[in-house]
Amino acid sequence: MFKKNSFKIKLTFSYVLLIAVSFVFVVFFLDRNLGENSLRDIRFSLVSQARLIEDQISPERLKQRDTAYLEALTARLSSKIDGRITIIDREGKVLAESRKSHEEISGMENHLYRPEIRDALTGLTGIDTRYSSTLKMDMLYVALPIKQNDDIAGVLRLALPLENVERTLSAVRKIILLGLFLALGVAFILGSLLASQTIKPINRMIHVSRKFSEGDFSRRIIQHSGDEIGELAATLNKMAQDIEDKIREIEVQNQKLAAIFNSMIEGVIVVDGAGRIMSINPTIEKMFGLLKKDVQGKAFLEAIRNNDIAEIIKSVLGHGRPLSTEITLVYPVHRIFEVNTTPIFGNEAVNGCLVVIHDITEMRRLETIRSDFVANVSHELKTPLTSIKGFVETLLEGALDDKKNNRNFLAIIQDHADRLDRLVDDLLSLSHLESKEIVLQRDDCNLYALVEKAIPGFASQSKKKNIEIKNELPEGLSLKVDRARIEQVFVNLIDNGIKFNKDKGFVRICGRVIDDKVHVSVEDSGIGIPQKDIPRIFERFYRVDKARSRELGGTGLGLSIVRHIVELHGGHVGVESTEGFGSKFWFTLPA
Ligand code: ADP
C-alpha cells in the first residue's frame, strides 16, 4: 500500500504531524490554563463557602468560647461541604475543627502565625496553599475574619485538599490524551485517504509519462480538474502531442530522404568524423559488391579497399572543404568514377562527410565511341574524296585528252562517287535508326515472299562467283514488321554472304518459330570470321579486313544497320562462325 519514500507516506505523515503539533500546542496551553483556572475556581468557591459559613457563626458565642456550639456547628456544616472547617480565636487558638475530636483540638498548636490567619486577623481574606503536616497532603486554605460590627471576634478557616484539583486535572489530561490518540488515528486514516486521492492522478501521470518515455505518445492523461494537477496533465498532454507531431514530421522527412538515398543512381556513402561508414545506398552495394550491414560502423578502408577515395575522405575531414576528383578502378572490373565529397558540419566542426560516387564509365565509353565515329566517318569520306580529287587533277593536267585512259579515269571517279553515295546513304539511315523519332511502319509481311523478291537483285553478283542463294524459309511465315527495313536486313546479310563467300558457294536463308519468337538465319559457306572479331562485328565501321571490305564496296555499316533494325523490332542479332568454313548470322523477331 505504501511504497518506501513515497509521496503518499510523506503526505500522510505531514497530516499526522500537523495534527500532533497542533494538539501539543493546544494541550500545553490548555493544561496550563486549566490548572490555573480550576485553582482559581476552587479558591473562589471556597471563599464563597467560607462567607456563607462565616455568616452562620454567632460572634457572641465565639467570644464566649462556646466550644460545644462551635464544634457542633463545624461538624454539621462540614458534612455538607467537601472541606475541613476550623474556627480560631483572636489569639490563634483553635476552638473547633471539623475533622478533630475535642481532645485532639486542645492539643493543637497555635495557628496565629499561619499566613492566612494573619491576613484574616487584619480584616482581609487570607489564602494560602501549603503542605499540611496534620493531614500529610497539599492543602488550600482560605481564612475569613468573623466580625462583630467592626470588631474581629475570630477567624473561620476552610481547608481543601488539593488532591482533588490534581485528580480533576489528570482526568482532563487523560481525556485530552485519548482525544490526541483518536485524532492522530483519524488523521492517519483520513490523511492516507486524502493522500490516495491526491496521489491517484499523479500516479496516472507517472504511468502515462513512462509510456511517453518508451516512445508511445498515443496515450493521454485523463484529468479534467481545474487545479494545478489538471494544468500539469494538460501541459503533459500538449507536450506529448507536440512531440508526436514532430516525430511524425521527422519520420516523413526521413522516409523522403531514405527514398531519395535509396533510389539515387549515384552511389552515396555517409562517413562520420572518425572516418567510419555510417550508411551506404544500394548503388554502392552494387558498385563494390558489398552489403550495408557488413560495412556499417567499419573504417572506410576496412570496408572498401580503395586508397584514392580513402585519401579524399581524409582530406575533406581534415580541411572541411568539398573535393571532386575522377578515379579509375581496375579491379574487379574496369570502371571510371567521379567522386564528389562534401563535409558535414555539426557544432561548427566537421563531424563527417558525404561521398557521392558517379559511375562515368559508360559516359566515357560513349564519348570515345563518338570521337572514334567522327574519326572513322572523316577517314571513310576522306579516302574516296582524295581519289576523286587526284583523278580530277590528273584529267585537268592533260589526261582528259589521253583517249586511251580518260574514260578509265572517269569510271574510277564514278566508282568512288558511288562509294561516297553509299556511305552517305548508310550514314543517313544509321543516324535515322539511332534517332528516337523513328516510327516503324508495321504491316503483315510474308518473310518467304520478301526474300523471294529480293533474290533477283543479287543475280549478277552471285553469278560472278557461282553462288547459289537458297530461300528455305517456311512459305507461310508471316509477321507484323516494317517491310522495307526487314528487307534491308535481308539485303545486307545476303550481300555479305555473297561478298565474303568462296567460288561455288551458297547462301541459305532459314527460319522457324520457337515459342513466341521467329528465328531467322542467313548462312554462308564463305571465309568465316575470326573468333576474336566476333564480339565487335556489329560495331560501326568494324571490319575484319578493311582493304578487302573496301574493295568489295563495303562501308562497314551494314551489320550495324541490321542490328539497329532488329532491335527496333524488339529482337536480337548474333553470329556463329568458323574461320574458313562459313558464317551463320541470325536474328529473332517477336512472333
Ligand atoms: P561491310 O560493308 O564491310 O560489309 P558490314 O558491317 O556489313 O560492313 O560487315 C562488317 C564486317 O564483317 C565485314 O567487313 C567483314 O569483315 C565481316 N563480315 C560481315 N559479313 C560476313 C560474312 N558473311 N562472312 C565473313 N565476314 C563477314
Q: Is the CB of 498 under 6 A from ligand 1?
A: no
CA dist 128 and 123 (Å) reads 16
DSSP class of residue 535 equals G
- Could you tell me where the beta strands, DSSP code E, fall in 195-292? 267-272, 277-280
Mutational test site, ligand 1, from 533, 549, 560, 577, max ligand atoms within 8 Å of CB: 549
Q: Is the CB of 500 under 6 A from ligand 1?
A: yes
Residue of 112, 139, 109, 110 whose CA lies nearest to 127: 139
Q: Are 162 and 138 in contact (CB under 8 A)?
A: yes
Mutational test site, ligand 1, from 509, 537, 545, max ligand atoms within 8 Å of CB: 537
pLDDT score, position 107: 84
Atom of ligand 1 nearest to the CA of 526: 24
pLDDT score, position 169: 78
* CA-nearest residue, atom 19 of ligand 1: 496
Mutational test site, ligand 1, from 379, 469, 500, max ligand atoms within 8 Å of CB: 500
CA dist 137 and 224 (Å) reads 69
* CA-nearest residue, atom 23 of ligand 1: 497
Q: Is the CB of 556 under 6 A from ligand 1?
A: yes
| Non-local CB neighbours of 467 within 8 Å, separated by 6+ positions | 498, 501, 503, 504, 505, 506, 507
pLDDT score, position 35: 77
Q: Whole-number mean pLDDT of the chain? A: 89
pLDDT score, position 139: 87
A 10 A CB-CB count for 258 gives 12
- Residue ranges in 264-360 assigned as alpha helix (H): 282-288, 292-295, 300-303, 307-319
Q: Is the CB of 496 under 6 A from ligand 1?
A: yes
Atom of ligand 1 nearest to the CA of 582: 24
CA dist 277 and 501 (Å) reads 61
* CA-nearest residue, atom 14 of ligand 1: 543
**Do β-strands 506-514 and 468-472 pair in parallel, antiparallel, or remain unpaired?**
parallel
Determine the average pLDDT of the residues in 148-157: 89
Residue 23 pLDDT exceeds 90? no
pLDDT score, position 537: 94
CA-based torsion, 63, 68, 71, 72: positive or negative: negative
| Non-local CB neighbours of 402 within 8 Å, separated by 6+ positions | none
Q: Are 84 and 97 in contact (CB under 8 A)?
A: yes
Burial of 293 (0-12, 13-18, 19+ CB in 10 A): exposed
Cα(374) to centroid of ligand 1, in Å? Answer: 21
Q: Is the CB of 501 under 6 A from ligand 1?
A: no
CA dist 242 and 591 (Å) reads 62
Q: Is the CB of 555 under 6 A from ligand 1?
A: yes
Q: Is the CB of 527 under 6 A from ligand 1?
A: yes
pLDDT score, position 4: 59
Judged by DSSP in three states, 489 sits in: helix
Mutational test site, ligand 1, from 538, 543, 587, max ligand atoms within 8 Å of CB: 543
Residue of 208, 267, 272 whose CA lies nearest to 235: 208
Residue 30 pLDDT exceeds 70? yes
Q: Are 563 and 496 in contact (CB under 8 A)?
A: no
- Residue ranges in 100-227 assigned as alpha helix (H): 102-106, 115-121, 163-213
Mutational test site, ligand 1, from 559, 563, 566, 581, max ligand atoms within 8 Å of CB: 559
Q: Is the CB of 564 under 6 A from ligand 1?
A: no
Determine the average pLDDT of the residues in 364-384: 88
Residue 548 pLDDT exceeds 90? no
**Do β-strands 335-346 and 323-329 pair in parallel, antiparallel, or remain unpaired?**
antiparallel
> What's the pTM?
0.52
Residue 1 pLDDT exceeds 90? no
Cα(543) to centroid of ligand 1, in Å? Answer: 6
CA dist 166 and 17 (Å) reads 30
Q: Is the CB of 583 under 6 A from ligand 1?
A: yes
Residue of 455, 441, 518 whose CA lies nearest to 483: 441
pLDDT score, position 165: 72
Judged by DSSP in three states, 143 sits in: strand
Burial of 236 (0-12, 13-18, 19+ CB in 10 A): middle
- Could you tell me where the beta strands, DSSP code E, fall in 300-438? 323-329, 335-346, 349-359
pLDDT, one tens digit per residue, over 235-293 is: 989 999 999 999 999 999 999 999 999 999 999 999 999 999 999 999 999 988 899 99
Q: Is the CB of 497 under 6 A from ligand 1?
A: yes
Which cell numbers in the block locate residue 401?
Answer: 585528252
